[in-house]
Amino acid sequence: MKHILPLMLAAIAVISCAGPDSEDAVLASSESAASNTIVVCGLCPPGYTKVSSTCSARCDSPEHPCLPRLGNESTCVPNATGTISANPTNVRINLDVTTLGSTTICWSVSNATTGEVWVAAAGLPEALFTRAPSGCAVAPWFHAGDNMVFRLYEGTAHTKVLASVNVTAEGYHGGTCGPCQSGYSCFCGDRVCRREGTMCP
């Protein structure tokens, strides 16, 4: 890709979604993880991570002996999960009107204090797109031929990917009709606004 991603990222416009502000969302996420903490005898069940262990008389049994440095009772927290989406995933750009197109990225994490969305294009390293437990952000810098992946990471360590979504962009010559309402464009080349995804006459 010939375009310089850092310069494009400087044009990012972030739009807030309905819900708590960033600080409240972080607090709510932390409280949610704490409320889902469990204490079990032996190892944590699938889907949970051990945060501490100790020797407990409650768990002392032949099945759960108190082992050095391991104990027999585990405190477990649920693993972080997340979702991410793009609308649209295929950005269509009327080259008779503009060279740029946009998509809206929405994401949400659970059982984590926050999440980071990073974006990568072919031949370029990942760049931070946005950070919050949840929200939506507009990426307004797509050019025809672009192919980018948006990855949602747990927390700020940039190590564990929770989800990802690919976005491509294509150009077409639709004339200079319009402006068209949302979901419509002049993709047939006859300067008529038509619902995207329908057949040309």
Say whether pLDDT at 181 is over 90: no
Quote the mean pLDDT of the chain. Answer: 83
pLDDT band at 132 (very low <50, low <70, confident <90, very high): very high
Tell me: do 68 and 9 sit in the same domain: no
pLDDT band at 128 (very low <50, low <70, confident <90, very high): very high
Say whether pLDDT at 33 is over 60: no
Residue bearing the bigger pLDDT, 187 or 146: 146
Q: What is the pLDDT of residue 189?
A: 67
- If you average pLDDT over residues 115-122, what whole number do you get? 94
Tell me: do 67 and 119 sit in the same domain: no
Q: What is the pLDDT of residue 67?
A: 85
Residue bearing the bigger pLDDT, 78 or 174: 78
Residue 173 located in a structural domain = no
Structural domain containing residue 107: 5-23+81-167
Tell me: do 111 and 161 sit in the same domain: yes
Tell me: do 144 and 94 sit in the same domain: yes
Tell me: do 128 and 87 sit in the same domain: yes
Residue 123 located in a structural domain = yes
Residue 102 located in a structural domain = yes
Residue bearing the bigger pLDDT, 189 or 148: 148
Summarised one tens digit per residue, pLDDT across range 51-109 is 899 999 999 898 899 888 889 999 999 999 999 999 999 999 989 888 999 999 999 99
Q: SS3 sequence, the chain?
A: CCCCHHHHHCCCEEECCCCCCHHHHHHHHHHHHHHCCEEEECCCCCCEEEEEEECCCCCCECCECCECCCECEEEEEECCEEEEEEECCEEEEECCCCCCEEEEEEEEEECCCCEEEEEEECCCCCEEEEECCEEEEEEEEECCCCEEEEEEEECCCCCCEEEEEEEEEEEECCCCCCCCCCCEECCCCCCCCEECCCCCC
Tell me: do 103 and 53 sit in the same domain: no
Q: What is the pLDDT of residue 171?
A: 94
pLDDT band at 34 (very low <50, low <70, confident <90, very high): low
